[in-house]
Structure 1
Amino acid sequence: MPGLPNRASVKGDWRTDQFIELDALVVGGGFGGLYTLYKLRQLGLDAKIFEAGKALGGVWHWNRYPGARVDSEVPYYQFTVREVWKDWNWSERFPGHEELRRYFEHAAKTLDLNDHIQFETIVVECNFDETSKRWSVKTASGREVTCRYLIVAAGSSYKKHYPEFPGIEDYKGVLLHSADFPEEGHYFKGESTAVIGQGSTGVQIVQEVAKQASDLTVFLRTPNIALPMRQRPMSAAEQNQYKAIYETIFAATRKCFFGVPYWSDGKALDEVSEEERMTRWEELWARGAFAFNTANYRDCMFNQKTNDLMYEFWRNKVCARIKDQAKKDLVAPEKPPHPLGTKRPSLEQDYYECIDQDNVHLVDLKNNGIKRFVAEGVETEDGIVHKFDTVVLATGYDAITGSFTGMGLKDRQGVDLRERWKEGVKTHLGMTAPGLPNMFMVYSPQAPTALSNGTTTIEVQGDLVADMIKKMHEEGIETIEARPEAADKWAADIQEMNEQTLFPLTNSWYMGANIPGKKREQLNYLAGIETYERVCKEAIESWSGFEVTKKAEA
């Protein structure tokens, strides 16, 4: 590639040297990190990955809880690189964590990336050197890397959230966080088990543990408006038949709002009759996945009346599956707990049937909260001590921002990003930030991240990062840096879009509201993937919103 250094064949074992010089360092070995590494090495750069885990996969390395599986369906949830998909077939529509880890092994081997990845390497500090115009990155083991480009692809779900329950250190049973299960798993058969939290993870865990534990107590604060997954096996013959049009399918994912080709007819609810509406909703319900949420009427996230009718339809479907009236009232209340879609809907298979089992008990945390942990289990505010062999914390993550603010990433003035974002996230294009030259983010705050098919957003951003670096070399640019006014505008535009929706009515991790002390703000770009990619390309073409520094003449 003209203008780019070709140092991809540097000799020596870079994994053992205490000091390493690279063109680019990618932090994170999930979908975002692996794809970005692939793109950078295509440019001829000496690029490497540092991954905290023992293997690739990102969230799919850490998530080993019973029932852990992706809620984006294949063929959309995978790399669109032909070399990877042509010899790979999935076993089911929504793959589980074991299969996803095998897929990462396949992808890294196919793309010849294994020699450029180091595991069990935790980044703890990143500083930009003004003299050399390079990043200095330190690891927990004391190693140091310098690189011209720093790409943070640490994922949206890495930093685990542990609520500060009083007395939790006194508990003598087994305490597990959903993202920290032992590799060998945990045997729930015959145990008395508690699951605290009912987000996507909690729903998946309940579906499995309810079938194993002698009794299961589910602590929930907000009922999950879960949608039908419609899981099914997928044969190799079926997938091979459709691989002829995979490239057309993948192109379509980047031309739609959510990164999956769920097309809406573009109508508002008041433009259709009740009969037409119910026919449409039955069709979307039968499709499963996120179709009911993402292919619905155009005003479903703007109009409270439309959203309330959607909830009524959902509630009728769910109530028909639950016999126990008290449980029905709790998990499918007559009044919506929040507008449908303003928290990420979970996809369930038999969650409501599991909830209805006699061995499953529900505790409504809004009316009977957790007072403290004790040696035997959990004491609730009514004074009852619930005894458990195992307690599972399905309490989620410091999502979207946590992995970026927890690695000691400092700006030109030595101010940690955690401090810079304390009063609100500021990025330009959701990929760069003021004070952080040549630092790029993938699957990041203020991008379509949590409101999209993850791999689609990741490939869009990975391509854009590669385009920026290539353009820098072609134009003799040494550094680019987001201008503060551009970041202010990007953040303000997102919050302005947010105020026109129903999102502000709900305390969700979309809004950063699941973490005490975290600023409440919309953390996602809301105009969709197609618009996001177009706007970013236009800005990069003219370096709009960037401070650009050219290389000094020799």
Structure 2
Amino acid sequence: MNKQTGEMPTFDVVVIGAGIAGMYALIRLRALGFSVRVFEAGTDVGGTWYWNRYPGARFDSESYSYAYSFDADLLQEWNWSEHFAAQPETHRYLRHVAEKYDLRRDIQFNSRVAAAEYHAEDRSWVTTTEDGAKVRSQFLITAIGILSAPHIPAIPGRETFKGRSWHTSHWPKEAVDLSHQRVAVIGTGATAVQLITEISKNIGHLTIFQRTANYTKPLRNQAIRDEEQAALKASYPEMFQRCKQTFGAFLHDIDPRSIFDLEPEARRQHLEQLWNEPGFGFWLGNFLDTFMNREAAEVVSEFVREKIRQRVNDPKVAEMLTPRDHPFGTKRVPLESGYYEAFNRPNVELVDLKKHAIRRITQTGLETSEKAYEFDVIIFATGFDAVTGSFARMQIRGKDGVLLKDKWADGPQTLFGLQGAGFPNMFTIVGPHNAAAFCNIPRCIEQNVEWVCEAIAHVRKTGHRSIEPKTDAAAAWTEHVNEQVEHMLIAQTDSWFMGSNIPGKKRAFLAYFGGAPAYRQRCDESAAKGYEGFDIS
């Protein structure tokens, strides 16, 4: 709202978030002639790669397969220094994209969206930031990411701690010297694996509190040699075509065979080969039945457990780090570069929270059921309220004032993970039940953004005012999503994929496990049939 005139600024489209998805949406919408305002809570573009600046943060997709693919000139002018780039380089890349396309002039930084409300009388959305500013738009696009609502457990006494503490996604911008500090890290998920590996190299004393042991796989990162650059750049068309064809839009793809098609020795050799390759191939390039057959999954799980035992000197610590409560691949698999070796250092201690739970945080540290600890720094690597968490933190109201978080209280319901019934003209890039949640994410983001922008252009071109899913179509898609994962081991495991890492959150599958190609086909078929499943009015 303009405080002097009382007039509300109006745009064709409001985009929430200036990460990879929000930036690309702005580029596409501008090209289609729409006026756009992007709201970003941070002080710069980058989304995930702006917020997650903790030591050790880096890609686990190949850098070149992660980059934007829509501009051949952009691909040729940027040189990645490593096969799996670190956060500072990735953020520099996204800042470069923002400068190349002059994106910042349409982005309002330091502006966290508090609410968005649909007005049926003129079929518009009014978006309100935390400082009370309001704008009106015909369309609303959320580009808020799947892991952007930090979760810190409700541990008694947290506010009493006299030292420094933060969640990994709120790592201080200034340099943090831990070389003489007593540090606690709570959590051993994907973020913690990267963080612990890095900070353990130069720290006073590190105590790691683990609730659930995770299977991890070596990243095997390397610098990109000068002579590799030209070859990589020449291969971009084939590379991105390959990503369009694979299950998760990665360079590797699931092996359609059964693990038991191979004799034990050949099976072992094949697993060793996958293990020694860089990246996610051991997870998302493994045998198909390891995702659905417990006996097959156990073969792979025991293979990884053996690898863990070989790298940890103390057998008791090795056993603590060895997962027993879930099969390999049913949780998000961290990639590491020396994680287990960190536990061989004399100044690194591991605490099993299943045996000795945290009771409280104190002024000087924390207490478990076993003993009290003193710390200078406490770092919460405790994950995120994934996929739906960022939506729940905003007051988003659709038709008849219905609150989105109430609508999704028993689990989300969308069509293609891109729109929910009762919320006309609101699109959710990488929303729940969207293939992008289980994907080499920029590859699926580009598909999401292009589909959404074309849908918006179609509504405008045909002289209509709104588009939203039909209730039965959204219900059918949600049923399809659940059917896809019904017999998969991932649905039987507690993880953020199921929302079960958040106390009180309804257990429901939040991604789409039918594969990126099948998802793209369903979206394209709907568009080709005049957006079948949607009401355009």
Which of 36, 39, 44 aligns to 1:47? It is 36
- Residue 325 of structure 2 is matched in structure 1 by 337
Q: Deviations over 1:106-163 (max 9, x none)?
A: 1112223222111111111111111211111111222211111111001112111110
- Residue 415 of structure 1 is matched in structure 2 by 402
Q: What is the one-letter code of the residue matched to 2:43? A: K
- Residue 402 of structure 1 is matched in structure 2 by 389
- Residue 430 of structure 1 is matched in structure 2 by 417
Q: Secondary structure at the match of 1:146?
A: strand
Which of 59, 65, 69 aligns to 2:54? It is 65
Which of 279, 287, 293 aligns to 1:297? It is 287
1:100-111 alignment runs, 5 A limit: 100-111=90-101
1:185 aligns with 2:172: no
Which of 442, 456, 476 aligns to 2:463? It is 476
1:366 aligns with 2:354: yes
CA contact (8 A) 1:83 1:110 kept: no
- Offset at residue 315 of structure 1 (A): 1.3
Cα RMSD of the aligned pairs, angstroms, is: 1.7
CA distance in 2, matches of 1:314, 1:395: 24
Q: Deviations over 1:228-272 (max 9, x none)?
A: 101111134412222122022112211110111213442111222
- Residue 533 of structure 2 is matched in structure 1 by 545
More helix by share: 2
Figure out how many residues of one structure are paired with residues of the other and give that number. Answer: 533
1:500 aligns with 2:479: no
1:288 aligns with 2:275: no
- Residue 28 of structure 1 is matched in structure 2 by 17
Q: Deviations over 1:3-58 (max 9, x none)?
A: xxxxxxxxxx99x9973111111110100111111111111111221111000011
CA distance in 1, matches of 2:462, 2:485: 37
Q: What is the one-letter code of the residue matched to 1:372? A: R
Q: Secondary structure at the match of 1:89?
A: coil
- Residue 202 of structure 1 is matched in structure 2 by 192
1:353 aligns with 2:338: no
Distance 1:236 1:105, change over 3 A: farther
CA distance in 2, matches of 1:300, 1:544: 35
Q: Deviations over 1:279-317 (max 9, x none)?
A: 211111111211101111111100101100001111112
- Residue 161 of structure 1 is matched in structure 2 by 151
CA distance in 1, matches of 2:102, 2:373: 52
- Residue 454 of structure 2 is matched in structure 1 by 467
1:132 aligns with 2:122: yes
1:266 aligns with 2:256: yes
Distance 1:440 1:196, change over 3 A: same
Q: Secondary structure at the match of 1:120?
A: coil
CA distance in 2, matches of 1:246, 1:95: 17
- Residue 88 of structure 2 is matched in structure 1 by 98
CA contact (8 A) 2:247 2:254 kept: no
Answer with 126-135 or 297-306: which moved more.
126-135
CA distance in 2, matches of 1:106, 1:67: 22
CA distance in 1, matches of 2:425, 2:119: 12
Which of 48, 52, 56 aligns to 2:45? It is 56
Which of 192, 208, 212 aligns to 1:222? It is 212
- Residue 442 of structure 1 is matched in structure 2 by 429
1:381 aligns with 2:369: yes
CA distance in 2, matches of 1:160, 1:139: 19
CA contact (8 A) 1:27 1:51 kept: yes
CA distance in 2, matches of 1:315, 1:138: 50
Give structure 2 stretches of 5+ with no counterpart: none
1:304-319 alignment runs, 5 A limit: 304-319=294-309
1:233 aligns with 2:200: no
Q: Secondary structure at the match of 1:106?
A: helix
Task: Provide the TM-score with structure 1 as the length reference.
Answer: 0.94
1:490 aligns with 2:474: no
CA distance in 2, matches of 1:500, 1:94: 33
CA contact (8 A) 1:84 1:106 kept: no
Q: Secondary structure at the match of 1:435?
A: coil
- Offset at residue 175 of structure 1 (A): 1.0
CA distance in 2, matches of 1:530, 1:404: 27
Give structure 1 stretches of 5+ with no counterpart: 1-12, 550-554
Answer with 497-506 or 294-303: which moved more.
497-506
Q: What is the one-letter code of the residue matched to 1:524? A: A
CA contact (8 A) 1:135 1:146 kept: yes
1:251 aligns with 2:241: yes
Q: Secondary structure at the match of 1:413?
A: helix
Q: What is the one-letter code of the residue matched to 1:329? A: E
- Offset at residue 470 of structure 1 (A): 2.2
Which of 72, 83, 86 aligns to 2:73? It is 83
- Residue 5 of structure 1 is matched in structure 2 by none
CA distance in 1, matches of 2:257, 2:439: 21
Q: What is the one-letter code of the residue matched to 1:170? A: T
- Offset at residue 499 of structure 1 (A): 1.5
Answer with 237-246 or 51-60: which moved more.
237-246
- Offset at residue 505 of structure 1 (A): 2.1
- Residue 522 of structure 2 is matched in structure 1 by 535
1:149 aligns with 2:139: yes
CA distance in 2, matches of 1:311, 1:197: 21
CA distance in 2, matches of 1:58, 1:18: 30
Q: Deviations over 1:158-180 (max 9, x none)?
A: 11111000111221111121011
Q: Secondary structure at the match of 1:510?
A: helix
CA distance in 2, matches of 1:360, 1:43: 55
CA contact (8 A) 1:339 1:505 kept: no
CA contact (8 A) 1:64 1:185 kept: no
1:117 aligns with 2:107: yes
Q: What is the one-letter code of the residue matched to 2:222? A: R
Task: Provide the TM-score with structure 2 as the length reference.
Answer: 0.96
- Residue 3 of structure 1 is matched in structure 2 by none
- Residue 552 of structure 1 is matched in structure 2 by none
CA distance in 1, matches of 2:196, 2:6: 46
CA distance in 1, matches of 2:161, 2:355: 23
Distance 1:389 1:434, change over 3 A: same
CA distance in 2, matches of 1:255, 1:478: 35
CA distance in 2, matches of 1:166, 1:270: 49
Q: What is the one-letter code of the residue matched to 1:96? A: A
CA contact (8 A) 2:436 2:516 kept: no
CA distance in 2, matches of 1:215, 1:231: 27
Q: What is the one-letter code of the residue matched to 1:413? A: D
CA contact (8 A) 2:39 2:109 kept: yes
